[in-house]
Amino acid sequence: MTTTWSRHVHEERVWGTVITFDLRDEGLDAARAREASAAAAEELHCIDAWLSPFREDSAVSLIRKDARAQDTCPPPVREVIAACSSMTRLTRGAFDPWRAPGGFDPSGYVKGWGADRAAEILVAHGIPNVSVNAAGDVTCRGRAHPEADGWRIGVADPRDRHQIVGSVLVRDAHLATSGRYEQGDHIVDPRTGRPVIGVDSATVLAADGGLADAVATALMVDGPAGLAHLVDRPISAQVISRGCAWTIGPAFTTGSAARAA
Amino acid sequence: MKRAMYVGLGTIAGVTAVLGYHPGTLFGTATAQATTPRATTAANGTASSGGTFTGDAVSTQYGTVQVEVAVSGGAVSAVTALSAPANDPHSSQISAAVIPQLEQQAVAAQSARIDGVSGASYTSAGFEQSLQSALVKAGLA
C-alpha cells in the first residue's frame, strides 16, 4: 500500500451506545467532514426521539400506550412500522416487534435502518467512502482504501468478542451481527413467548441495513434452520451454533466478492 | 431483542465514558489534528527482527492517549498504554478496560487487515488511531 486517504472519525453517543462514523477520501476536507458528521449525528438523535422505547415522549412509547398512534406518527416512523411488518412476514414471525416483552419495540430493525440513514447523509455531503458502525452493525459505502474493493469488516467471535472469526468484504451494504454476548441468555421466540436455546451468533450481509439487522435478530431465534427459507434472497448469512458455522450466500463461502446482490 | 442495544451495553457505555462523550464530541481525527504531538521515540527495530514501536500521541479533550506495541517474530506480542486519560479514578478504570481490548484486536487483526468489526464492543478511536500508527511503524499495517 503506497497511498492512503485522509480519514476523519466521529464518535457519537446516542441510542444508549456509541455510533462511529469513519470518513475516508483523498484530500478529505476536514471542515466538510465535520459538517457532514454533525448532520448525520443530528439524524441519529432524531431517530432516538422518534423510536426509542426508553423515552416517554417517543412515538414508540405512544404506540405502546395506544396502538392507534401508529396511524398518526411522523412519516419516518410509519416507514419503520411498515418495514417491520414486512420483516415479520419475511422471518415468519421470528422477528416480531409487536410481540416484544414490554410492547412494540422496533429496535431490532432501527439500528441497521438508522445506520443506513446516517451513511446516506454523509454521502450526500460529498464524501463517497464512509462506514457507520452502530455498536457492531456496520453500513459501508464506497471503499476503505484507494485500491480496495470495499470495506473489510471483521466478524466478532461469539465466544470472545475481542477476537474475530473471519472477515467479510462489504461494499454499499450493511453487515449486522447479533450475538449472545449482546443479548444475554434470554432469547425469546415471539411466536411462543418462550425462551429458546438460541445460537452463539448470527451475521447477515444485505444491501438494506434494517433488513440485515432484523434477519440477524430472527436467526438468533431460529438458528441454522432459519437459513433455509432465505436461500433465494439477495443476502449472505452465517449462523454460529455450538462452534459450527452454517452459511448461505457468497460472502461467507468464497471469502471474496461479498457485495450484497 | 435489541433492547439489549439500550440496556445490555452498560459496559460499553461505560467504556465510552473514558473519553466522556457528549453529542458532537470529535476527536481522533487525522484531518483535524494539526496540533497532534508526534511521537518522539522512533522505531527501534523492524517487523522482522522485532522491537518496540511507539504510536502517535493523540490529543483528546480528556487527555493524551498513546500506545506502544512490542513486536516479536513479526507479530504483535504486547500493547502498552504509555499515556491514557487518568485525571480521575473513573478514567483510569476505563483505560484499564480499553487496553486489553486493543491488544487482542491488534493480534486478531494483523493476519487479516480489517477496516472495522461487526458485533464487537466499542474501542475508543483515539486509542485505535495511536495503535494504527504504531503498527505502520512496525511494518505490520
- Predicted confidence at residue B138, as pLDDT, reads 80
CA atoms within 13 A on the CB side of B19: 27
* Residues in chain A within 8 Å Cβ distance of B100: 162
Residue type, A174: H
pLDDT tens sequence across A128-174: 999 999 977 999 999 999 999 999 988 888 876 666 788 899 999 99
pLDDT tens, position by position, A217-248: 999 999 999 999 899 899 999 999 887 889 99
**One-letter-per-residue 3-state SS of chain B:** CCHHHHHCCHHHHHHHCCCCCCCCCCCCCHHHCCCCCCCCCCCCCECCCEEEEECCCEEECCEEEEEEEEEECCEEEEEEEEECCCCCHHHHHHHHHHHHHHHHHHHHHCCCCCCEEECCCCCCHHHHHHHHHHHHHCCCC
Phi, psi of A27 (to 5 degrees): 55, 40
Q: What percent of chain A has pLDDT over 70?
A: 92
> ipTM beyond 0.85?
no
**Chain A residues lying within 8 Å of B117, measured CB to CB:** 133, 136, 138, 153-156, 164
**Residues A124, A128: Cα–Cα separation, whole Å:** 8
Q: Over the stretch A47-60, which tens digit does the pLDDT of each residue have?
A: 999 999 999 999 99
Q: What residues in B contact A12, CB-CB < 8 Å?
A: 21, 23-25
Res. A216 pLDDT band, cuts 50 70 90: very high
Please compute, for residue B124, the number of CA atoms within 13 A of its CA located in the half-sphere on the CB side. Answer: 37
CA distance A81 to A89: 13
Task: Confirm if B51 and B44 have CB atoms less than 8 A apart.
Answer: yes
At A175-204, the pLDDT tens digits run 999 987 555 557 889 999 888 877 899 999
Listing DSSP states for A90-145 in one string gives: HTTTSS-GGGSTTS--THHHHHHHHHHHHHHHHHHTT--EEEEEETTEEEEES-SS
Judge whether B56 and B36 are in contact, CB under 8 Å: yes
Contact present, A145 and B116 (Cβ < 8 Å): no
Q: Please give the backbone phi and psi of residue A133, each rounded to the nearest 5 degrees, phi first.
A: -105, 105
State the count of interchain CB pairs (< 8 A) between A and B. Answer: 193
Give pLDDT < 50 ranges for chain B: 1-44, 61, 111
- Write out the three cell numbers for A210: 434494517
Q: Enumerate the β-bridge partners of residue B96.
A: none
Phi, psi of A194 (to 5 degrees): -105, 150
What pLDDT score was predicted for residue B129?
A: 73
**Measured CA distances, A139 to A104, A172, B10, B122 (Å):** 25, 7, 23, 16
Burial of B43 (0-12, 13-18, 19+ CB in 10 A): middle
- Chain B: nearest CA to A207, how far in angstroms? 15
Closest approach of chain B CAs to the CA of A17, in angstroms? 6
Cα separation, A148 vs A120, whole angstroms = 21
User: What's the distance, CA B125 to chain centroid?
Assistant: 6
Three-state secondary structure call for residue A206: strand
Amino acid present at A251? A
More confident of the two residues A65 and B91: A65
Q: Which pLDDT score is estimated for B24?
A: 24
For chain A, where are the alpha helices, taking DSSP H only? 30-51, 59-65, 75-90, 107-124, 180-183, 209-222, 250-253
CA pair distance B13, B5, nearest whole angstrom: 10
Report residue B141 as a C-alpha cell: 499495517
Are A196 and A72 contacting, i.e. CB atoms less than 8 angstroms apart? no
How distant, in Å, are the alpha carbons of A75, A104, A205, B49 from that of A97? 18, 5, 21, 55
Binary contact (A135, B13; C-beta < 8 A): no
- Which residues make Cβ contacts (< 8 Å) with residue A86, sequence separation at least 6? none
- Nearest CB neighbour to B30, from listed A7, A102, A179: A7
Of A41, A140, A177, the CB nearest to B23: A41
The arithmetic mean of pLDDT across residues A16-41, rounded, is 92
Rounded CA separation B51/A200 (Å):
38
Q: What is the DSSP letter of A77?
A: H
Residue A62 has pLDDT above 80, yes or no: yes
Task: Select the more confidently predicted residue: A193 or A114.
Answer: A114
Cβ atoms of A52 and A80 within 8 Å: the answer is no
Give the pLDDT confidence score for residue A107 in this predicted structure. Answer: 92
Q: What is the pLDDT of residues A73-90, one digit of tens each?
A: 999 999 999 999 999 999
CA distance A140 to chain B (A): 10
